[in-house]
Amino acid sequence: MNEIYLYNRQLNKESDYNVWMGFPGPKSFALSSLGFMWLFKSLDEEPNIRVERICSDTKITEINSKDVNAICFSFSFDMDFISIFSILDKYNIPLKSKDREENYPLIFAGGPVVTANPEPYKDFFDFIIIGDGDKCNLEVIKLCRENREKSKKELLDILAAYEGVYVPNVTKKVNKCHYDLSECVYTPIISEESFFPNTFIIEVSRGCFNRCGFCVASYLNLPVRFVDYETIISNIDLGLKYTNKIALLGALISAHPRFNDICSYIYNRIQNGENIEMSVSSLRADAITPKVIKTLSV
Ligand code: SF4
């Protein structure tokens, strides 16, 4: 397996709660999905939880489907529901939550599609994470584990009171979970099998001030938040220990107050002889400066 773990993975740990992280696409896409991989790292670091990635092209699983306690799906694009249903069907899990009795795992989802509007999917998921999933998902799964002896109904009643969790037909009012960006989310596992091979992705901002009417990346991620410059630089340094491909991620990266300084930092390292390839998730034409062009084109 061509995967470099940037954290200390505990192998053969004693776990009493098994989670499948479902990705509605091939493994290569999962490896390039920052939010999905970050949650995988968070769960993998938990001492009592065993986690496995299940993608649409997964053939053999390490955890037997009968031993899975919970399956959380990443739901980023509308058409993902087709793959989500296919994965459930593949493991003989009923699609509708009302048809899943106690012997079936808890099935839930998070991501932009269900955050924007969970209602079309309320019959299929036991609960839905609304808002930022990076910490909320972990806390919710820990809560599920702590209450694993309870019935599904008892557990869902507990979850319904948790910020950012929507339990269909139980939750009265959902508060979207969101966090400051004091920590930087980055690629925890670098792989040449990723859709972006051997690339270290760093999230530098979340949300966008411009609020273009069609753009959910702006509205869903309000308020606009930036990772501070020092944190970004220290994480670029971390990534460059493992790869020369650095990608900056954010809805409107150029709005970062230190965007030019970040480009300068990388540009100076390139000028000093390092072979660094930098890319950005998107760039507005009005944000392009000579320094940015030079850094991206080297
Ligand atoms: S990220 Fe781009 S499309 Fe979205 S609101 Fe900002 S400027 Fe508009």
pLDDT digits (tens, 9 = 90+) for 71-91: 999 999 999 999 999 999 999
Ligand 1 binding site (Cβ under 6 Å of any ligand atom): 208, 210-212, 215, 217-218, 251-252, 284
HSE at residue 218, side-chain half, CA atoms within 13 A, is 10
Determine how β-strand 189-191 pairs with β-strand 3-5: antiparallel
Tens-place pLDDT, residues 197-210 = 999 999 999 989 88
CA of 140 to the centre of ligand 1 (A): 30
Tens-place pLDDT, residues 15-73 = 999 999 999 999 999 999 999 999 999 999 999 999 999 999 999 999 999 999 999 99
Phi, psi of 53 (to 5 degrees): -85, 130
Tens-place pLDDT, residues 238-263 = 999 999 999 999 988 888 999 999 99
**Distance between CA 236 and CA 184 in Å, rounded?**
10
- Nearest alpha-carbon partner for 154 in 139, 164, 144, 165: 144
**Distance between CA 130 and CA 108 in Å, rounded?**
11
Domain boundaries, the chain: 3-166, 198-297
Whether 297 and 269 have beta carbons less than 8 Å apart is answered as: no
Same CATH fold, 198-297 and 3-166?
no
Instruction: Please state which CATH number belongs to domain 3-166.
Output: 3.40.50
Look at residue 293 in the predicted model and tell me its pLDDT.
Answer: 83
Whether 236 and 265 have beta carbons less than 8 Å apart is answered as: yes
Ligand 1 site-directed mutation target among 204, 205, 209, 212, most atoms within 8 Å of CB: 212
Whether 256 and 284 have beta carbons less than 8 Å apart is answered as: no
**Distance between CA 276 and CA 279 in Å, rounded?**
10
Was domain 198-297 assigned CATH 3.30.750.210?
yes
Q: Of all protein residues, whose CA lies closest to atom 4 belonging to ligand 1?
A: 215
Q: Of all protein residues, whose CA lies closest to atom 7 belonging to ligand 1?
A: 210
Other C-beta atoms closer than 10 Å to the C-beta of 148 total 13
- Nearest alpha-carbon partner for 191 in 24, 37, 62, 20: 37
Q: Of all protein residues, whose CA lies closest to atom 8 belonging to ligand 1?
A: 212
CA of 214 to the centre of ligand 1 (A): 8
